[in-house]
C-alpha cells in the first residue's frame, strides 16, 4: 500500500472496531480500518437488539462521551422499551429492537463520512513489531501497513470453529471464514490465550408463523431514545415482538438429539456464556422446569426474517426443526438458517493495562470478544476506550481511564483487567457497587464534559448538556420555593393512597413521597404552566424527580465510594471463616474461603466476588 504510516490501525469491523475507528478518526488521528469483508461492517451477528439490563447504561455512556452507537441505534430501531420501570431508577435500562440491515448501513455511512478514516479489505495475519512496540500489520495477500498503534477487535473470528450437530467447519460466523495466523503470532510474542464459545438461534420466515397463538410484546407507549443528542427523535411507530413458550413435548424432542450434540458429546470443551445458555443447556440443567420463554423478534421494518431469541442451539438441524414445529405458533415454521455454536480464541484480559493497551507490546490494544467479553455493548465501549487511548498515545497525551464510580465502562474494564474472566463476560447491574450513581438517565452529566475535554464530544453536545442542567436547576428551585394548599393537593394525594396534608407544603416535599409521581403533580396548574412555558422535557423532569426521591441514597453511595477508596488496604484476619457471613453470595463465600485474601483490595480482585460481597465484609469489620 502507498498510503504511508497511520496513527491508528483498527483490525476488525464489528462493534468494537467501528467505535475504535470512529473515535480515533474524529479526534484527529489518521486511521485505517482493516476488515475481512467491508460488506459486513457493524453486522449484528446475534440478536437484532441494542441495550437491555446494564447494557443500556453502557450504550448511553458511549453516547455521552461522543461515541456513535447510541445515535445509530436511535436512527435504526423499530421498537423501544425501558426495562425495569417498576423498580428504582438505578435499574431502569433502555432496550431497542433494531433493523439489522439499516443498523449496518448507518454505521457504514458514518464511517465513510470521516475524512481521517481509510478502509482496506483483507485478513490480518500478523503484526509488525519493532523494539517491543506495535509498528503495523501484515495481511493475507502480503501487504504490510505501517502504524504507530494497532487495535485488535477480532470478535469470534480468531480460529473460529462452527458446530452444528456433529458437523464442524471453520468460520467466524455463518457464511464467513475464520481468521487464522494471528493467534499463533501473538502466542509466539508471549501472550496467553484460550477458547470460548457462544451460540445463536435459528432464523425463520415470519410469514410461516401464527402470531395469534403468541403473546404480543409491544414497545413503550411513550418511547424514548438512547442518544442525548437532539439530532435523533423518538419513534412514532413501532413493530411488536411476540412471546411463546417451549413445552415438555419440545424438550423431549430436543433430548432426542443430545447424543449428537457437540455440547454433550465432548466436541465442545470451551466455556460458553452462563447467563445466556443454549436451549439444550436449559433443559439439561433445569430439568424440573416444564417450559422456557421464547422471544420472537423481527429483524427489521421490511424483512420477514425473524430471530428466535431464547432458542440458541447447536443441535442437529433436523432436531432443531422438529422441536420448533412443536412450539405454539411455529407449527408451519420455515427455516432461513439453523442455529449453531462457535468456538474462538480469546486472550485473558489480565494481560492489559487500564487503557486496554497490552502489557507485553507497547502500542497494541485489544478490544471486544478478544478480551473474553460477550455482547455488542460491551465490545463497543471497549473499542471506544481503545480508540481514545490509542489516539492519545500517538499525541503523547495522558491516559483516559474511567473509575468504577464514574461509569459502567469503568466497572467493565476494571473487572476484566483485575479479575480476568473464565467465561464470556456480560455486564449486569449487580457488578456495579454504585448503581444509583451510574444511572442511564445521568450518563451525560457524568461523562459529556470528559468527552468534550478529550476532543471527542463536540461543542453542541456540551451546549445541550448545559441547557439541560440549567432547566433541571430551574425546575428544582421552583419545586423548593412553591408551596401547595391542602385544598389543591389533597384530592391528588388521596387518589394515590397518600396521606392528606393539613397545611401548605412545598412541592418538593410532596414529590418525595413514594406514592406520588411528577405526572400526578402536573394537575397543579402553576407547575404545569411552568413546565410548558420553559420547555422542560420528560428527561429533564425525571432527573429532578429522581434527585428528590433518592437524594439520601445518592449521598450515601457517594460516601461509600469515597470510603471504599480509603479502606481498600484494610486487612482481613488470617483464616477468617467466611461461612459465618450469611449475606455473602454463594460464589463469593466459596472463592473467598479458597483464596483467603489478606486485604479488602485483594478480595475485590477475586473473580466471582461481587461489590455486594465487599460491602458485607466492610460492614462486618465495622467500617
pLDDT at 567: 67
pLDDT at 606: 81
Q: Does the model's pTM come out above 0.75?
A: yes
Q: Please say whether the dihedral angle defined by the alpha carbons of residues 548, 404, 582 and 92, taken in this order, is positive or negative.
A: positive
Which residue, among 106, 524, 141, 174, has the nearest Cα to 341 in the 3D structure? 174
b or e along 1-26 (b: 16 or more beta carbons within 10 Å of the residue's beta carbon)? Answer: eeeeebbbbbbbbbbbbbbbbbbbbb
**Phi, psi (5° rounding) for residue 161?**
-130, 120
pLDDT at 572: 87
- Name the one residue in this structure whose C-alpha cell is 471453520: 170
Question: What is the pairing mode between strands 144-152 and 133-139?
Answer: antiparallel
Q: Please provide the DSSP assignment of 455-501 as one string.
A: TSS-HHHHHHHHHHHHHHHHHHHHHHH-EE-HHHHHHHHHHTT----
pLDDT at 623: 60
Which residue, among 214, 219, 210, 243, has the nearest Cα to 309 in the 3D structure? 243
The 3-state secondary structure of 116-150 reads CEEEEECCEEEEEEECCEEEEEEECCCCEEEEEEE
pLDDT at 2: 46
CA distance 373 to 289: 29
pLDDT at 265: 74
Low-confidence spans in the chain with pLDDT less than 50: 1-2
pLDDT tens-place string over residues 98-153: 999 999 999 999 999 999 999 999 999 999 999 999 999 999 999 999 999 999 99
- Name the one residue in this structure whose C-alpha cell is 495477500: 141
Q: Which three cell numbers stand for residue 494?
A: 388521596
What's the chain's length in residues? 623
pLDDT at 241: 97
Residue ranges in 140-217 assigned as alpha helix (H): 182-188
Amino acid at each position: 500500500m502507498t498510503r504511508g504510516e497511520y496513527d491508528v490501525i483498527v483490525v476488525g469491523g464489528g462493534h468494537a472496531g467501528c467505535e475504535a475507528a470512529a473515535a480515533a478518526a474524529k479526534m484527529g488521528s489518521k486511521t485505517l480500518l482493516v476488515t475481512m469483508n467491508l460488506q459486513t461492517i457493524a453486522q449484528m451477528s446475534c440478536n437484532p437488539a441494542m441495550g437491555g439490563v446494564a447494557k443500556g447504561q453502557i450504550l448511553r455512556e458511549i453516547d455521552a462521551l461522543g461515541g456513535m452507537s447510541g445515535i445509530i441505534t436511535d436512527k435504526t430501531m423499530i421498537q423501544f422499551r425501558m426495562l425495569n420501570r417498576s423498580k428504582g431508577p438505578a435499574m431502569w435500562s433502555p432496550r431497542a429492537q433494531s433493523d439489522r440491515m439499516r443498523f449496518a448501513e448507518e454505521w457504514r455511512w458514518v464511517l465513510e463520512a470521516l475524512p481521517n478514516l481509510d478502509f482496506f479489505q483483507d485478513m490480518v495475519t500478523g503484526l509488525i513489531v519493532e523494539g517491543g512496540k506495535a509498528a503495523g500489520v501484515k495481511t493475507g495477500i502480503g501487504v504490510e501497513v505501517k502504524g504507530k498503534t494497532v487495535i485488535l477487535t477480532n470478535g469470534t473470528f480468531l480460529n473460529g470453529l462452527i458446530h452444528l450437530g456433529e458437523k464442524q467447519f471453520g468460520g467466524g460466523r455463518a457464511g464467513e471464514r475464520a481468521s487464522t495466523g494471528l493467534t499463533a503470532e501473538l502466542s509466539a510474542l508471549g501472550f496467553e490465550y484460550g477458547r470460548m464459545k457462544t451460540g445463536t438461534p435459528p432464523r425463520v420466515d415470519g410469514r410461516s408463523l401464527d402470531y395469534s397463538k403468541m403473546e404480543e410484546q409491544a414497545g413503550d407507549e411513550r418511547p424514548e431514545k438512547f442518544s442525548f443528542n437532539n439530532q435523533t427523535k423518538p419513534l412514532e411507530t413501532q413493530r411488536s415482538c411476540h412471546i411463546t413458550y417451549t413445552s415438555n413435548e419440545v424438550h423431549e424432542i430436543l433430548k432426542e438429539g443430545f447424543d449428537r450434540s457437540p455440547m454433550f458429546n465432548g466436541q465442545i470443551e470451551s466455556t460458553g456464556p452462563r447467563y445466556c445458555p443454549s436451549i439444550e443447556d436449559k433443559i439439561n440443567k433445569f430439568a424440573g422446569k416444564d417450559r422456557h420463554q421464547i422471544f420472537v423478534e423481527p429483524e427489521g421494518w421490511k424483512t420477514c426474517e425473524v430471530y428466535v431469541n431464547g432458542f440458541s442451539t447447536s443441535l442437529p438441524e433436523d432436531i432443531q426443526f422438529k422441536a420448533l414445529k412443536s412450539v405454539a405458533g411455529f407449527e408451519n415454521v420455515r427455516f432461513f438458517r439453523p442455529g449453531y455454536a462457535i468456538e474462538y480464541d480469546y486472550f485473558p484480559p489480565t494481560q492489559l493495562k487500564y487503557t486496554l493497551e497490552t502489557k507485553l507490546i507497547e502500542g497494541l490494544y485489544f478490544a471486544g470478544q478478544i478480551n473474553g467479553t460477550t455482547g455488542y455493548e460491551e465490545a463497543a465501549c471497549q473499542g471506544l476506550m481503545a480508540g481514545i487511548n490509542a489516539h492519545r498515545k500517538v499525541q503523547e497525551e495522558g491516559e483516559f481511564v474511567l473509575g468504577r464510580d464514574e461509569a459502567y465502562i469503568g466497572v467493565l474494564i476494571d473487572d476484566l483487567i483485575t479479575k480476568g474472566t473464565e467465561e464470556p463476560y456480560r455486564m449486569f447491574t449487580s457488578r456495579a457497587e454504585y448503581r444509583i450513581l451510574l444511572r442511564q438517565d445521568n450518563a451525560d452529566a457524568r461523562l459529556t464534559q470528559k468527552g468534550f475535554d478529550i476532543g471527542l464530544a463536540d461543542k453542541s453536545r456540551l451546549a445541550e448538556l448545559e441547557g439541560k442542567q440549567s432547566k433541571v436547576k430551574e425546575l428544582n428551585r421552583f419545586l423548593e420555593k412553591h408551596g401547595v394548599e391542602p385544598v389543591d393537593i389533597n384530592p391528588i394525594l388521596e387518589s394515590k393512597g397518600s396521606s392528606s396534608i393539613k397545611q401548605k407544603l412545598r412541592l418538593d416535599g410532596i414529590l418525595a413521597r413514594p406514592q406520588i409521581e411528577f405526572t400526578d403533580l402536573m394537575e397543579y396548574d402553576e407547575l404545569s404552566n411552568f413546565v410548558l412555558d420553559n420547555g422542560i422535557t420528560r428527561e429533564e423532569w425525571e432527573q429532578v424527580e429522581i434527585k428528590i426521591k433518592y437524594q439520601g441514597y445518592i449521598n450515601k453511595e457517594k460516601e461509600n465510594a469515597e470510603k471504599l477508596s480509603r479502606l481498600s488496604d484494610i486487612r482481613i484476619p488470617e483464616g477468617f471463616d467466611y461461612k459465618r457471613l450469611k449475606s455473602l453470595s454463594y460464589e463469593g463465600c466459596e472463592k473467598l474461603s479458597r483464596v483467603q485474601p489478606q486485604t479488602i483490595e485483594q478480595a475485590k480482585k477475586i473473580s466471582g466476588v461481587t461489590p455486594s460481597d465487599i460491602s458485607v465484609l466492610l460492614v462486618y469489620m465495622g467500617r
